[in-house]
Structure 1
Amino acid sequence: MNWLLVVAGAVVGAPLRYLTDRAVQSRHDSVFPWGTFIVNVAGCLILGLLTGAVAAGAVGSHLQLLLGTGLCGALTTYSTFSYETLRLAETGARVFAAANVVASVVAGLGAAFVGVVLARAVWA
């Protein structure tokens, strides 16, 4: 049963990642991978909210598997982030590569922190 929840979340998360990435990237005329950046930060926010809700006892393990492992696991992408950063560096866009690394880590951690704080405010 648990694996079905993960699969169900991934069935939504994977196409959502692809469609969001394409929609965001088509609106920016830049080598910076905005689409991947947005989905990763959004996933961190969702996971932060979910973690805070679980810690407060407002959400059970089934929703954690569905949204945390399934949806966020398929929505976010460390491999694409790594590939795009390497590609930027290899094509001479080293400033964009460094900015991608720093901004992704800072924004991802910040989004997760904001999510946990928001969840605590709602469910504490």
Structure 2
Amino acid sequence: MFINILLVSLGGAIGAVLRFSVSPQIDKLFSSNFPYGIFLVNIIGCFFIGLLGNKLSENESLRLLFIVGFLGSLTTFSTFAFDNYNLLNLRSYYYLFANLILSNFIGIIMVIIGTRTIKLFN
């Protein structure tokens, strides 16, 4: 059990640091209320969970490290919800609905693309 906690912690630390480093840099590229940073991080995470999720589920250690730890902290739904809450408070309804719809719709599409991409190599 201790090894499992270490694997999740290691993956989580790497994912959190990557999100912390990358998301604000992406936001700086755009002068907008739309949360592009977390949007892109979530979409990329959705692709990778589609690409590797089924394969890594066969190996518990890799699943804990990469899916639960790394992707779990990289693609933070809580940050997504908080960004939408802030957009609501700013009355930026256009960006609020764009983020809600695009993140979910494109996220599902990226999971499908990731899953189908890995099937090409099996």
- TM-score of the pair, normalised by structure 1: 0.90
The aligned runs of 1:26-105 (5 Å cut-off) are: 26-54=28-56, 60-105=59-104
| Equivalent position of 1:18 in the other structure | 20
**Aligned-partner SS, 1:39:** helix
Whether contact under 8 Å (1:53, 1:120) holds in the other structure is: no
Find the aligned partners of 2:117 and 2:85 in 1 and give their Cα distance: 34
Aligned alpha-carbon RMSD (Å):
1.3
**Aligned-partner SS, 1:31:** coil
Q: CA deviation at 1:4?
A: 1.2
Identical aligned residues as a percent: 32
Find the aligned partners of 2:89 and 2:14 in 1 and give their Cα distance: 33
Find the aligned partners of 1:94 and 1:7 in 2 and give their Cα distance: 37
Unmatched tracts of structure 1, length 5 or more: none
Deviations 1:67-93 (A, max 9, x none): 100100110111111111121122121
**Aligned-partner SS, 2:121:** helix
The letter for the 2-side match of 1:86 is Y
- TM-score of the pair, normalised by structure 2: 0.92
Find the aligned partners of 1:21 and 1:119 in 2 and give their Cα distance: 26
Whether contact under 8 Å (1:44, 1:111) holds in the other structure is: yes
The letter for the 2-side match of 1:42 is I
Q: CA deviation at 1:107?
A: 1.2
Count residues in correspondence: 120
The letter for the 1-side match of 2:69 is G
| Equivalent position of 2:4 in the other structure | 2
Q: CA deviation at 1:54?
A: 3.9
